[in-house]
């Protein structure tokens, strides 16, 4: 039994000339119960590594998956979509369970004067936007550009000039602000000039926007814990999770046989192995205080230079639905209305890139924000958020619908939450020039005898699926397998 004084089951190491074998009763601490932490813990439990606990800083499991009941169904404050099918471990786990629904690609564009943009112009905007997304094959026009932001600066002038008439040129010009926010929502940088133009990220082929039909991304956690589809098969994991345990220090990882984990409430835990899964945002803020002795210089460099930003959602509940099923919109601001935004102190609305319907939840819309204003928006009081969204609804949608105003609002705060410090990682301009930093971040720490002491998982440690839940899960399985299958250490 785990106690605050960290009394552990004795560990008997089998020594030989070639190294040591990890016994299945090794004491293991998993820090964090997000998808990577749950993946690691469930993999270990299935392989009879039962002497483990999970220390979770929040009062819930899920990490950057946070599905809450709002309106008639669950909405996701964090991760929301299953990105692709081929090679996606999330899709592989659920494809026979009828829990995913394919995306509906319907995204009309409306200008702030209430005018709907014609389909041909919308198609050209989408084609241009998709051509800018970070890729392993940068565009010839951007050969000398290091960032997506720089490439957009170069190509947007050409795109604007390509308009077939003055009105289309004007709309293409207006689209630049929306494009900046939309691309930022894919990768989460606060500044597109920090997002590297060339990337190791790999897309999984297939539908990139499958949703959970109102049940939330929490479904994947329930599947990994075997609570779904048959709760009778549930793994014995609930009693191993300790909530509101904020880790303040991980010590003795280098010279001693045991690693000591201390939490802010004064509890101390002793383990043979620690799997660390919090975000790279947490590491950026706290690695110097967290690890004693300090981390190796190559890992510190990876922490500093992997990009990590934030997006924000505002979730709006309406007393009645006034829009059609599957309606969703992108908004373009005309020049005179941008000046009005500045006068109203609503300039942060320029980071508002779209509004979509919550799945299987007819009275709920979700507004997406990405860009430099996200930290500011998180600090704004609800009354300001509500006023701004009523302004947007009246300006863009009232000309086309018999609108009503929201009666409930939820705003996400991933950036300001010290247990996350943002949403997901990306390849920064500086980081990309230093090789695959994700692999460096994911490499384990060993003590002076070669024993695995601290292992690292999480989306930012995946070499090509960073920023995704499937990348996070794969990384958790990777580190569990490191303990399970690499039992003989050289």
Residue identified by tokens 């880790």 is 247
Residues 185 and 218 in one domain: no
Cα gap 73→90, rounded to integer Å: 21
Tell me the percentage of the chain whose pLDDT exceeds 70.
93
Residues 185 and 245 in one domain: no
Does residue 4 register a pLDDT over 70? Answer: no
Does residue 8 register a pLDDT over 60? Answer: no
Q: What distances in angstroms separate CA 419 from CA 103, 283, 284, 372, 414, one per listed residue?
A: 31, 10, 12, 21, 9
Residues 232 and 186 in one domain: no
What is the mean predicted confidence (pLDDT) over 44-71? 98
Residues 160 and 236 in one domain: no
Number of domains in the chain: 2
Quick check: is 317 in a domain?
Answer: no
Q: Which residues of 187-224 are buried (b: 16+ CB within 10 A; e: fewer)?
A: bbbbebebbbbbbbbbbbeebeebbbbbbbbbbbbbbb
Quick check: is 242 in a domain?
Answer: yes
Q: What is the pLDDT of residue 136?
A: 57
Quick check: is 262 in a domain?
Answer: yes
Quick check: is 372 in a domain?
Answer: no
Does residue 12 register a pLDDT over 70? Answer: no
Q: What is the pLDDT of residue 135?
A: 60
**233 — phi, psi (to 5°)?**
-95, 15
Does residue 489 register a pLDDT over 80? Answer: no
Residues 290 and 233 in one domain: yes
Q: What is the pLDDT of residue 144?
A: 79
pLDDT in tens, 464-481: 999 999 999 999 999 999
Residues 297 and 436 in one domain: yes
Q: What secondary structure letter does DSSP report for 459?
A: G
Does residue 313 register a pLDDT over 70? Answer: yes
Quick check: is 473 in a domain?
Answer: yes
Name the domain boundary from 194, 225, 243: 194
Does residue 7 register a pLDDT over 50? Answer: no
**127 lies in which domain range?**
110-194
CATH, residue 41: 3.50.50.60
Burial of 330 (0-12, 13-18, 19+ CB in 10 A): buried
Residues 431 and 289 in one domain: yes
Residues 116 and 45 in one domain: no
Q: Name the CA radius of gyration of the chain, rounded.
A: 24
Does residue 134 register a pLDDT over 70? Answer: no
What is the mean predicted confidence (pLDDT) over 112-140? 86
Quote the mean pLDDT of the chain.
92
Cα gap 66→70, rounded to integer Å: 12
What is the mean predicted confidence (pLDDT) over 103-125? 92
**255 vs 11, higher pLDDT:** 255
Quick check: is 247 in a domain?
Answer: yes
Quick check: is 393 in a domain?
Answer: no
Does residue 281 register a pLDDT over 80? Answer: yes
Residues 160 and 126 in one domain: yes
Q: What is the pLDDT of residue 163?
A: 96
**472 — phi, psi (to 5°)?**
-60, -45
Q: What is the pLDDT of residue 160?
A: 95
pTM of the model: 0.93
Burial of 246 (0-12, 13-18, 19+ CB in 10 A): middle
H/E run at residue 220? helix 218-224
Quick check: is 455 in a domain?
Answer: yes
Q: What is the pLDDT of residue 434?
A: 86
Does residue 175 register a pLDDT over 80? Answer: yes
pLDDT in tens, 392-437: 999 999 999 999 999 999 999 999 999 999 999 999 999 988 888 9
- List, in sequence order, every beta strand (DSSP E) within 309-351: 311-317, 330-332
pLDDT in tens, 218-249: 999 999 999 999 999 999 999 999 999 999 99
Which ranges of 280-410 would DSSP assign to H, the alpha helix?
280-290, 297-305, 335-343, 374-379, 382-392
Lowest mean pLDDT among 75-79, 111-115, 322-326: 322-326
Residues 135 and 185 in one domain: yes
Residues 169 and 116 in one domain: yes
Residues 175 and 223 in one domain: no
Q: With CA atoms as reference, report the closest residue to 56 among 309, 310, 302, 265.
A: 265
Cβ-based neighbours of 309, under 8 Å, separated by 6 or more? 184, 187, 188, 189, 190, 374, 422, 423, 424, 426
């Amino acid at each position: 039994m785990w106690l605050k004084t960290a009394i552990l089951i004795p560990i008997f190491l089998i020594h030989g000339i070639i190294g040591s074998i990890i016994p299945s009763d090794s004491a293991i601490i998993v820090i964090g119960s997000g998808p990577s932490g749950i993946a690691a813990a469930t993999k270990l439990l299935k392989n009879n590594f039962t002497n483990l606990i999970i220390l979770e800083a929040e009062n819930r499991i899920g990490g950057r998956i946070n599905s809450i009941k709002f309106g008639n169904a669950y909405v996701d404050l964090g991760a929301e979509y299953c990105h692709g099918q081929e090679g996606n471990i999330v899709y592989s786990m659920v494809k026979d369970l009828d829990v995913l629904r394919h995306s509906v690609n319907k995204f009309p564009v409306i200008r702030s004067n209430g005018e709907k943009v014609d389909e041909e112009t919308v198609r050209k905007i989408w084609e241009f936007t998709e051509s800018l997304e970070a890729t392993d094959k940068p565009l010839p026009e951007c050969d000398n550009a290091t960032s997506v932001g720089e490439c957009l600066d170069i190509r947007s002038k050409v795109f604007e000039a390509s308009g077939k008439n003055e009105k289309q040129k004007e709309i293409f010009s207006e689209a630049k602000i929306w494009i900046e926010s939309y691309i930022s929502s894919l990768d989460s940088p606060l500044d597109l000039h920090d997002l590297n133009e060339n990337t190791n990220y790999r897309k999984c082929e297939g539908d990139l926007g499958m949703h959970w039909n109102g049940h939330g991304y929490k479904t994947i956690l329930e599947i990994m814990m075997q609570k779904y589809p048959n709760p009778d098969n549930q793994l014995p994991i609930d009693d191993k999770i300790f909530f509101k345990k904020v880790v303040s220090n991980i010590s003795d990882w280098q010279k001693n046989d045991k690693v000591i984990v201390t939490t802010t409430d004064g509890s101390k835990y002793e383990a043979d192995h620690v799997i660390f899964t919090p975000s790279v945002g947490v590491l950026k803020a706290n690695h110097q205080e967290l690890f004693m002795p300090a981390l190796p210089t190559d890992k510190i460099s990876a922490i500093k230079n992997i990009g990590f930003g934030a997006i924000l959602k505002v979730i709006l509940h309406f007393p009645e639905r006034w829009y059609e099923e599957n309606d969703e919109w992108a908004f373009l601001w005309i020049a005179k209305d941008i000046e009005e935004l500045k006068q109203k102190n609503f300039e942060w609305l320029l980071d508002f890139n779209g509004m979509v319907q919550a799945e299987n939840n007819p009275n709920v819309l979700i507004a997406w924000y990405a860009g430099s204003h996200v930290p500011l928006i998180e600090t704004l009081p609800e009354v300001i958020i509500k006023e701004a969204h009523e302004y947007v609804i009246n300006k863009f949608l009232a000309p086309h619908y018999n609108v009503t105003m929201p009666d409930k609002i939820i705003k996400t705060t991933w950036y300001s939450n010290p247990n996350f410090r943002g949403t997901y990682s990306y390849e920064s301009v500086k980081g990309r020039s230093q090789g695959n930093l994700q692999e460096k971040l994911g490499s384990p720490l060993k003590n002076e005898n070669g024993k695995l002491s601290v292992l690292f998982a999480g989306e930012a440690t995946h070499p090509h699926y960073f920023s995704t839940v499937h990348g996070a899960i794969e990384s958790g399985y990777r580190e569990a397998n490191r303990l399970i299958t690499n039992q003989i250490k050289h």
